Amino acid sequence: MVNPELLEILRCPACVRERDGLLTLTHETWLICQDCGRKYPIVDDIPVMLIDEDDKWLSTAAEALPVPPPAR
């Protein structure tokens, strides 16, 4: 599980300069940006905050995200 204090400070790398980029923890294994909807997997308790990683999941609905996320 990701440290709750870390979740409070993490922001979406695609949005952080123009918007809040707040992230919501989903399925205990995904972070979803409240502004743009980008999805970032949490693999081995480490959030993978790469914009390229999100591009794989951009068109996937939150309820359809695989749990656990596939390993990179």
pLDDT at 36: 92
CA angle 43, 47, 48 (to 5 degrees): 85
pLDDT at 16: 87
Three-state secondary structure along the chain?
CCCHHHHHHCCCCCCCCCCCCCEEEECCCEEEECCCCCEEEEECCEECCCHHHHHCCCCCCHHHCCCCCCCC
Phi then psi for 71, rounded to 5 degrees?
A: -70, 150
Domain ranges in the chain are 4-64
Per-residue pLDDT of the chain (72 residues; tens, 9 = 90+): 788 898 889 999 999 889 889 999 999 999 999 999 999 999 988 899 998 877 888 899 999 999 999 876
pLDDT at 32: 95
CATH annotation of 4-64: 2.20.25
